[in-house]
Structure 1
Amino acid sequence: MAAGHRAIVRDRMFLRQVPRPRVFRDRSNPLEDLREEEIFARYRFRPDTIYFIVDLCQAAARDTGRCFAIPLVLCVLSYLRFLATGAFQLTVGDTVNLSQPTVSSLPPGFPNVVGVIDCTHVSIKKPSANPEDYIGRKGIPTINVQAVCDASYRITSAVVMWPGRTHDARIWRQCALRRRFEDGDMHGFLLADSGYACTRYMLTPYMNPVREAQARYNGALCRTRVTVEQTFGILKQRFQVLRRKLNCYPERACMHIRNCITLHNLGIDRRDIVAVDPIDPNDNPHYHRVDVGDNMDGRAAREYVTRMYFER
């Protein structure tokens, strides 16, 4: 028995000493091998936009003195594929012929409206620290992402750090953009649903409209505010990882979400657009039956806009 055990150990030690043949992967550039529609289907951007992203990364690499053993275009494609599909890293790596360890290390109607605000939830891996803080409305761990968008679906402000259990109104109370409005550095109106307090710069719906003008105001607000829902739809249609689940803990998940928002804006700026189905605002009023503390200045501002623009 002892002799047999020694023989097994000896054989294993011998096998460890035998050099394994090195596998050289074909790292050809998929952008040169695929048609444009195939590239867009895989990476959610057209080739010229992808090369633009590569150039940005190349400039950043020069600034930091960083070099890449792997062609930078393959690094970018690997990350875009991950964001586009939410697939496991091994699957993502296979699409551009990289190993799993390599992939895991890769990096109408309203006056003076400046934006539309809302929050959306992104599912994440259940954290080990304070997991109950991350359980959102659907009973799963999420990051609650606040975003402000403009009429072109560009995200002009985003807060990506709060656990899913955090109420939308609290995120707004703590964010830097609110302080800019309060200090007078920002002018105009934000449009929001009733999950936010109505203030002198943030217009929300009437919970119980009693006049026809108030009903018209609510209808116009819903038709305009649907822009932010469409923005989230475009964002998550391009980056399926946000629609499914980011299988990582909060800090890294927030990094991926911020990267998705940056790339989303780049796509909007370059008119590299992802089509989504239109949203019917009448099916999506977003009234939250909670008291979030409307103030007198807010109610006065809302009533002024109603009388000036929706009275007949």
Structure 2
Amino acid sequence: MIVTNYVRNIIQPPTSRNKAIPAELKVITCLRYLATGKMQLCSGDDYGISQQTAGRIINQTLDALAAPAFLVRCIKFPTTQAEIQQKQAEFRGIANFPGVVGVIDGSHIRIVAPKEYEAEYVNRKNYHSINIQLVFDAQYRILDVVAQWPGSVHDSRIWNECGLKGKFERGIIPGGCHLLGDSGYPCQPWLLTPYLQPRNVAQEAYNRAHKRTRCVVERGIGQLKRRFHVLHGEIRVDQIKTSKIVMVCAALHNLCKERNLGLPDEHDGYEAEPVEANPIQHGHL
């Protein structure tokens, strides 16, 4: 298995004694949890492991997949001229908007109320969440992700304090490269937003092309959440572990894109499991 090979050295038990769980089964259990969001589907007769054991090996596998080596391998912002030109050409094919290398937006991932700083995690829709920032290319690959801010934090603040903005400011990303964002972001040389009140034909045309191109990020977020249904419902772990889940899902999404793996059928979605005591809730994940 492709994913297993990346983390085998970390999660493979040193011996098969005491019915040690092999790396392949650990990865399968973790992927099933991310795909369904249902803890109870990760244990039972099919896998021969208890729910408590499932929580423990999911935790171990997530730690391994969240290691910088795997994340950096899967999530990369283009910096070479060839990579940038390819991204720009793909975006230009959508609505003839020049210079675009990525589209950016935020998305809220619902969490349980944290024990500390609870009010900071209540978003404008009045539920607890973390606000994640995502940048997609025209092929719906994730180029950058930030998953550490409470739900009450505005998209613009996340952008202003993220590492990607610093790369633009320091010239690590060459001039003439743009991201497209909605009106919640500040308009900057490298982050273009729509005209709030277009005053002429040219500005109206700009807004139309901007909207058509930026739609990629909305569809990209939809694809990510369809592929990993754990991101749909309330994630009943603390905010730090939720951030780890988001980062791993983003990396695996790109790996699926790299391997041309299709999305699950939209009619095969799963409902979030009811709130019950389980190993994840009590700290095993």
Class of the TM-score when normalised by the shorter of the 2 chains:
0.7 to 0.9
Is 1:111 paired with 2:72?
A: no
- Aligned residue in 2 for 1:19: none
Q: Tell me if structure 2 keeps the 8 A contact 1:90–1:99.
A: no
- Aligned residue in 2 for 1:143: 130
Task: Structure 1 unaligned segments of length 5 or more: list them.
Answer: 1-50, 278-312
Report 1:204-243 matches (<5 A). Answer: 204-243=193-232
Q: How many residues align?
A: 224
Cα root mean square deviation, aligned: 1.8
Superposed CA offset, 1:112-155 (max 9, x none):
11111111010011101011100112211101000111111111
- Aligned residue in 1 for 2:31: 80
- Aligned partner (choices 179, 187, 199) of residue 188 of structure 2: 199
* 2-structure distance, mates of 1:273, 1:200: 36
SS in 1 for 2:43: helix
Is 1:120 paired with 2:107?
A: yes
Q: Tell me if structure 1 keeps the 8 A contact 2:11–2:23.
A: no
Q: CA deviation at 1:157?
A: 0.6
- Aligned partner (choices 145, 169, 184) of residue 171 of structure 2: 184
SS in 2 for 1:118: strand
Q: Tell me if structure 2 keeps the 8 A contact 1:61–1:67.
A: no
TM-score with structure 2 setting the length: 0.75
- Aligned residue in 2 for 1:156: 143
Q: CA deviation at 1:90?
A: 3.3
Q: In terms of Rg, which structure is larger?
A: 1
Residues 1:83 and 1:110: Cα distance change in structure 2 (over 3 Å): same
SS in 2 for 1:198: coil
Q: Tell me if structure 2 keeps the 8 A contact 1:234–1:276.
A: no
Is 1:58 paired with 2:45?
A: no
* 2-structure distance, mates of 1:159, 1:219: 28
Q: CA deviation at 1:273?
A: 2.2
* 2-structure distance, mates of 1:232, 1:276: 16
Superposed CA offset, 1:71-125 (max 9, x none):
22211111111111111x2332124231112111122221111111111010011
TM-score with structure 1 setting the length: 0.68
Q: Tell me if structure 2 keeps the 8 A contact 1:77–1:96.
A: no
Residues 1:217 and 1:72: Cα distance change in structure 2 (over 3 Å): same
- Aligned residue in 2 for 1:166: 153
- Aligned residue in 2 for 1:16: none
- Aligned partner (choices 245, 259, 273) of residue 256 of structure 1: 245
Q: CA deviation at 1:276?
A: 7.7
Task: Structure 2 unaligned segments of length 5 or more: list them.
Answer: 62-93, 267-285
SS in 2 for 1:157: strand
Is 1:129 paired with 2:125?
A: no
Moved more, 133-142 or 166-175: 133-142
- Aligned residue in 1 for 2:277: none
Letter in 1 for 2:199: V
Residues 1:216 and 1:174: Cα distance change in structure 2 (over 3 Å): same
Superposed CA offset, 1:171-194 (max 9, x none):
001011101111111130011100
Residues 1:115 and 1:275: Cα distance change in structure 2 (over 3 Å): farther
- Aligned partner (choices 253, 258, 263) of residue 269 of structure 1: 258
* 1-structure distance, mates of 2:40, 2:159: 38
Is 1:91 paired with 2:41?
A: yes
